[in-house]
Amino acid sequence: MTTRLRFDGWILGLGTTSGTRVVVGHWPTSPLGPMSDVMVQRPDGHRVLLAPSAEVAEFVGATYTFDEVCLVPVTVARGDDGWTVDAGPLALRVRTGRRPPLGRLLRAVPARLARTPAWVGLLDRPARLSTGLRTTGSAGNGRTEWYGVQDLHLLDSVDATWDAEPLGELTPVEPPVTFGFGSVPPRPSVVRVTTTVQLP
């Protein structure tokens, strides 16, 4: 018998001119309660999970692949024009920008439909062909994931530090992050998303 867990919130992804790439998951609604986690890939490829609790670290670490896991306080504040993220060594201030045509297209799909694994599965092949991104795939430990994206905004700027050292300016997420079967969009952005994780 399989179990499906649903995480409802946002994923923010960006690159910096230092070579560090950051993915923030902010989940007001999840089976683990309201939570946020941060995945960081350093310029040398080293993958770090910044998690607020052992429970979150265990779940995320069993779904994705990391070289290092750190339990640290993770706070995320979302405003009309930006995000503030504090997670151990990482401090992030992001200014959000406009909704591109793809964001308007995503918003046109009824949210109830956009969240369903069946719909998300239908979009996987077109998404791979048009953007190189995946909407569904096999995660760690036999798990399957579906990303039901419902909106998208581009990012305009970032002020980020790691251990108080500046990470540089905003840049595309290149090379793609390698935590799981897919990456975030190459262009720095934040997406409204419902992630469904199926446990074996």
Instruction: List all residues 6 or more positions away from 1 whose beta carbon is below 8 Å from its beta carbon.
Output: none
Range of the domain at 189: 3-199
Q: What is the pLDDT along the chain (200 residues), one digit of tens a residue?
A: 679 999 999 999 999 999 999 999 999 999 999 999 999 999 999 999 999 999 999 999 999 999 999 999 999 999 889 999 999 999 999 999 999 988 888 888 888 898 888 888 887 777 776 666 788 888 888 899 999 999 999 999 999 999 999 999 999 999 999 998 888 989 999 999 999 999 98
If one counts the domains in the chain, the total is 1
Let me know: does 59 contact 49? Beta carbons within 8 Å. no
**Strand partners of residue 13:** 23, 189
What beta strand segments (E) does 18-81 contain?
Answer: 21-29, 35-41, 47-51, 68-71, 74-78
Phi, psi of 129 (to 5 degrees): -70, -35
State the pTM of this model. Answer: 0.93
DSSP codes, 95-155: EE----HHHHHHHTS-HHHHT-HHHHHHHHHHHHHHHS--SEEE-GGG-EEEEEEEEEEEE
Of residues 154, 170, 26, the one with CA closest to residue 85? 26
